[in-house]
Every structure is written in C-alpha cells, then in structure tokens.
Amino acid sequence: MNGKVRKEEILEYHMKGRPGKLEIVTKPCVTQRDLTIAYTPGVALPCLEIAEDPEKAYLYTIKGNCVAVVSNGTAVLGLGNIGALAGKPVMEGKALLFKNFADIDAIDINIDTEDPDDIIKVVKLLEPNFGGVNLEDIKAPECFYIEEELKKIMHIPVFHDDQHGTAVIVAAGIINALHLVGKKIEDVKFVFNGAGAAGIAVASMMKSLGAKNIIMCDSKGVIYKGRKERMNPYKERFAVDTNLRTLAEAMVGADIFIGVSVKGAVTKEMVKSMASKPIIFAMANPDPEITPEEVAEVRDDVIMATGRSDYPNQVNNLLGFPHIFRGALDVRATAINEEMKKAAAQALAGLAREEVPESVLRAYNREKMEFGKEYILPTPVDPRVPLWVAPAVAKAAIETGVAQVKIEDFEKYKEDLEARLRGKMGEVVRAFINRAKKSPKRIVFPEGTDANILKASQLILDEKIGTPILIGRESDIRIKMKELRLDLKGAVIVDPFKFEKAEEYAQRLYTMRRRKGVTLAEATRLILRGPNTLGAMMLEMGDADVFIGGQDQHYSTVLSYILKILKTKKGISKASGVYILIFKDDIMFFADTTVNIEPTAEDLAEVAICTAETARKFGIEPRVAMLSYSNFGSVHHPTAEKVKRAVEIVKEREPFLVIDGEMQADTAVVPEILRGTYPFSSLKEKANVLVFPNLDAGNIAYKLLHRLGGAKVIGPILQGLSKSAHVLQRGATAEEIFNLAAVGAVEAQEMEETG
C-alpha cells in the first residue's frame, strides 16, 4: 500500500456515509405540483416530443451529458482479471473523475461476461441512455474487437481510455520532446515494449502523426514478420522485417523508447546504446521500466517521462479522457475519431509551451515551471487543460463532420466551460499543502488523545507538511494510536508530567501573568494540567510553530487561553476569526465569524484589513464589502453609522484596498445591483471579502451557507496574532483539522519570512 495512504483510510472512505463513491442527485420533487411535472401526468409531454423527434432526448433527458463506463473487470489496473463485481470500485472511481474534472455524469456498467459478443450486444442495447461510452479495463485483444465492432454499430462516441487516452497524452509529450531535441517524427526510430491495449494504441497514434520506423516488443521479444508465438492480428500490424530479436538489440540507436510493460525491463546498458538526445517514456506502474535516477547515472541528454506523480513529466490520463468526452458531448459527436484525438494531443502540447499560472505553481510548490526537459506536459490540476482540450476536440469534430451541433462562438464556449468546470476546494487545499511542504512546521495539538487529531496527525506526516506535537498522557496516546492502527512515527508526544521544561515554562508564565492574578503555584498547575496553556506556551517559548486546539471544548474557552499568552500583531489590537467559503466557482472570506461579539468601528476596520491580508495569502485580490442592513446611508442609525465609520478608517489606513459600505449583503454580491443602483461605489465587481457588523450576523451567515447552501469551508482561521494559532469548531473531521494545519503552517512560514 502507498506509504501516504493507509488501508483502513481507503476502506473507510469507500464505506463512509453512503457506501461507494456515487449517488444520484435529482431536481426538486417536493410538492404535488412538482410530482405532476416530473412524473405523471406531466412526463408524457417530453416523452411524446422525443417520440416525434429523437434528438429532443438531448433537451429533455440526461443523455447528452451522460457517459457509460463499461467494463467486465478482466484487466483492472494492476490487479488483472478480478471480475466485473470486484472491478466496480474502479469504475465508480472513473465516474467520479468524469464528474469532478469535466462535469460529466457517468454511470458504471459492469458486465459479468468474458464473451466479447455479449458485451457488444449489451452496450448496443443501452445506447438510448448515453451520450458516449468509455470502455475500461477490458483485456487485450478482446478490447480491440469490442471497440471496433461498437464503433460500427453505434451512433455515439465509443472510446477505450486504456488505449486512446494513454495514446493522446503520450503523443502530446512526444510532440514537445521532439521539438526540444530538434528531431522530426518521420526520421526517428521508435522502440516499444508492451504490445497490449496501450502499446498498440500509442504506436498507432505515432504512425498517424507520421512515424515510419517502429519496432515493437512484447514479453517474447521483437515482433517480427513470420513470428508465430503469442501473436494476434493487432500485433501483426506492427510486425517488421528485421533480424533483431531482443529488446536490447532493438534499443541500439533508438531515438525514442516507449514502455507500457513491467518494472526493470530496461537496463542502463540499453540506455547507453540509444542515439543522441534520446527520449524515454517509461510508463509501467507503479514502477517504471527504468527510473530517472538510473538513467541519470549513464546519460545527461535524456528527456524522460513516467506514469508517476513524483517525477517530472507524468503521463496521466486525467489530462485527456474527461476533456475529450466534454468536447465530444458538447457538439453531440457521433464518434471520437483520429483527428479529434490528434487535436487533443496538439492542444496539450501547445498548453505546455505557455506560461504557467501562479495557481499551478502554488499547487506544486514551485517557483518556476517552464517548457523544457522537465516540463513537456501540463499538470492535471492546471485549470486551463479543459479550456484547451475540450474546444480543440469539439472543433475537430465539427471539421470532420461527426458533430451534430455546431459551436459558432468558441470564445463564448470557453467562457461558459470555465464557469461550469471550476472547482476551487481541491485547488485551494492542494496549494497550501504544497506550500507547507516547502518548510515543514511543528504543529502542537493540546488534545493529543482525540481520534480525529491523531488521524490528522497521520495526514500531516504522510504529506510531510510538519511534525505533530501531541499533548497528553503518553500511555493514553499510544493506546489510542494502536486502536486506530496509526503509525505516527515522527510525531512528538509531550506528557506534561514528564515534560522536562515544565518548571521553566511555569516560571515564564508566572512572569508574564503575575500582575494579572497568576501565582507561581497557579502557573505550575496550568502547565501541568492545562494543555491549552501548555500548547500556547510552546509557541511563546519557540518550541512549536503552530497551535491548533478546540476539538472537544468551546471555542471561547480555548481562545481565552491563547489570548492570555500570545500577543497581537503590531498595529492590531484584537484578534478576529475568518471562514473561507468555497463554492463551485467562487471563493469568499467571511469575518468576523468567531471572536468579537459587538465590535466598534475601529475593530471592524482592523477585521477588514486582516481579512484582506488573509485573502492575499490564498492568492485572492480582496474586494471588501462592509455589511449592514443599510445601503450607503439609506438608514440613519448608530449601528449603520458604525459600519460607515469603519469604511472611512480603512480608507485612511489602507488607501489602495478596494472597499466600500455600508451595504446590504445582496448589494455586495450582485454586480447588477452595484453597477445599476450604486454606480458611484468603489466596488465594481462582486465582493469576495464580507465583513459583518457583529458576531451574530457573521456566525449565522457562514453556518447557513455551509449547512444549507452547500458551501465547503476552511477555518476558522484566527487572524491578527503574532503567532500562528487556530481554534477548531468542536467535532472537526480529520480532513478539516489537516486543512487548518496546512493553513497554519504556511502562515508560520510567512511570519518567519517577514519577521
């Protein structure tokens, strides 16, 4: 099992809540009127419309945005022939990827037969339900026959991703690699190792792009004309007249090696024998035919790609299949043809030559990524991938005559696509994880025996963003770790009664608080029996960098301990709390949601300034709205005047910050109201930072949007302190705790950098 993810965690993910990875989401059907419209008798109307014109199924049903993920489980990942039922989690996973990366509804169809003709018959009979078919994990050579026959008899796209998805991504990388080494595809010598579905498809695409010299090998060696052993019609297409018999012999003088075979198939000697400036795509998973480290020992002129994410130039099918289907479905294509696949490859190759946006650099914790030996393919999280690939595929479908719908304005299509596909939560969290990895921090948890704290600590160690410091009785923590089957090697356990610095801490706390009612005896008791105080003191004493507590206590209780020890930043008199609310296509910051009950105008001004700074940490340029029940003086009341005064204070202190108010919430988030009714406002676009007039408003608003509005949240983030300390909402999940830890670690980094 991958060292970063435990068996128990994987199984829990699949069974938690609703078992599996998919569920059906429907349009509302609550009232009798809804039922009349959605089902009987109203449903008869769209049925009659479709009966008269079958194309109207695309208007009145899910068909136009639905793909069947079809498998019989005979070639599942690296597991082999495990059968249709055992392969179902993979097919559900494929459906999940379709939805999350391309907003395509996908349904897994697992057919319990190894007879290819039965599969063909079943899929053909299901055609009315789908806009496309994604064949998955069907063994060769049957997969070739099944796809070929279905293409002949179906009028929707049929696409075997194991073949063509891999071929598209490899083609994009080869196009760019050849460009970098200054060679032409028609002049170079290709050597393939692996003649299954992917190998045959990649070789076919290379021929389609102009390759003329291809030698293909399988486990029995070179595929040559006249060979009898382990042959089939698909291998026969690549049989050549040659005296070469082994992979080692074939590799001599080769310009390009493409491997879809097994670990260790290529040796250093083989790499040495290749032509100058060779290109190696070693894509066996989980371990390549030869590693980049091994290649680097014998050659320094190689461009290399693998199937792994921990090496540069990952060949990842996620770059292809969701976006290829997106483009095909959007023009109601009847097929995915060779020109559409080549268009996808060219689009990916072209994107890799573009300047990489800041969001992608943050996600990969890189200061720089640019076209070159270690960047010949875009990254799967690059938000521009669908905006390049889907339109290219759609355009090729139109040009080759397989599209039933034409797109007249591709710029408008791209804009609509971007609005539809942007998913922010993963992008935001991954960016912070990778930034945290740059300089891992010591993260102290006062509730060291809590199950979710321990699970989050495992994630922290697995993702290498820091060292968890767990406060609590050591025996209790170790028992809990054993119960949860966690391996927290690298975590630090601080048992207060065994803590060697306890006396030093107590003396320091006494010095800090002796004129505020704390005796030395009380300070000693707080260090030994007050884990929140001990955790906060670890930050103050420099033995920890981040504090995260509050898992099983009231927010205000934990906050009071922190504020008695940690100081606020220079120029800030009070701490405040902010939640980040993440919607499908937007990110917003709500403050103050956790700390100040009835803030003054000066307090609100500080909240606005701190929250704008927090937004910038997330790569968001803040547009701040100061909220009230009044719009720009429409109501004269002290509470509205307070907000108005807060805006004036901020403008005095931060004249370049985009901010306005007092204004109502809908005014702040509906640009038409702002521009139409209040054209004088300095806010011209929807606000992304909302500052609430009091704690009631802020806390209620974020909780309603989270629980009823479907917003995902990160937080609460405690801002305004000189150290990185945060208080959880009670009962936070391991994932929520981990996300906040990543935010805290990045904040601690920035505090170090700015002094």
* One-letter amino acid for residue 319 of the chain: L
| Residue 96 and residue 21 in contact, taking contact as beta carbons nearer than 8 Å | yes
Q: List the catalytic residue out of 94, 424, 441, 480.
A: 94
Contact 673, 631 (CB under 8 A): no
Nearby residues of 72 by Cβ (< 8 Å), 6 or more positions away: 83, 84, 87, 110, 111, 112, 113, 114, 119, 138
Q: Which single residue is written with the structure tokens 């090496």?
A: 311
Length in residues, the chain = 755
Q: Say if strands 132-135 and 158-160 run parallel, antiparallel, or are unpaired.
A: parallel
DSSP run (H or E) holding 437 = helix 424-437
Rounded to the nearest angstrom, the gap between the alpha carbon of residue 455 and the centroid of all alpha carbons in its chain is: 20
Q: Is residue 500 classed exposed, middle or buried when 0-12, 13-18 and 19+ CB atoms within 10 A define those classes?
A: exposed
* Amino acid occupying residue 346: Q
Catalytic: 94? Answer: yes
Closest by Cα among 576, 322, 580 to 427? 580
Residue 371, C-beta contacts closer than 8 angstroms, at least 6 positions apart = 176, 352, 353, 354
Q: Do 751 and 438 touch, CB atoms closer than 8 A?
A: no
Question: Active-site residue 63, yes or no?
Answer: no
DSSP H helical ranges for 514-551: 520-529, 531-540
Count of alpha carbons within 13 angstroms of residue 14, beta-carbon side: 10
> Which of 313, 283, 322 lies closest to 379, judged by CA?
313
Q: Catalytic residue among 4, 39, 406, 464, which? A: 39
Which residues are bridge partners to 445 per DSSP? 470
| CA–centroid distance for 600 within its chain | 40
Task: Give the Cα separation of 165 and 513 in Å (integer).
Answer: 65
Q: Which amino acid is at 73?
A: G
Q: Which residues pair with 661 in a beta bridge?
A: 626
The whole-angstrom separation of Cα 255 and Cα 276 is 7
The DSSP secondary-structure symbol of 443 reads E
Parallel/antiparallel/unpaired status of strands 546-549 and 576-583: unpaired
Going from the C-alpha of 560 to that of each of 508, 532, 553, 563, the distances in angstroms are: 18, 10, 12, 5
User: Do 627 and 697 meet the contact criterion of CB atoms below 8 Å apart?
Assistant: yes
**Separation in Å, CA 421 to CA 128, 323, 606:** 26, 10, 35
Beta strand 576-583 pairing with 712-719 = antiparallel
- 671 upstream amide cis, omega within 30 of 0: no
| Cis? peptide before 716, omega within 30° of 0 | yes
* Cβ neighbour number for residue 512 with a 10 Å cutoff: 15
Sheet (strand 689-691) strand order: 658-663, 623-627, 689-691, 586-591, 576-583, 712-719
Catalytic (active-site) positions: 39, 94
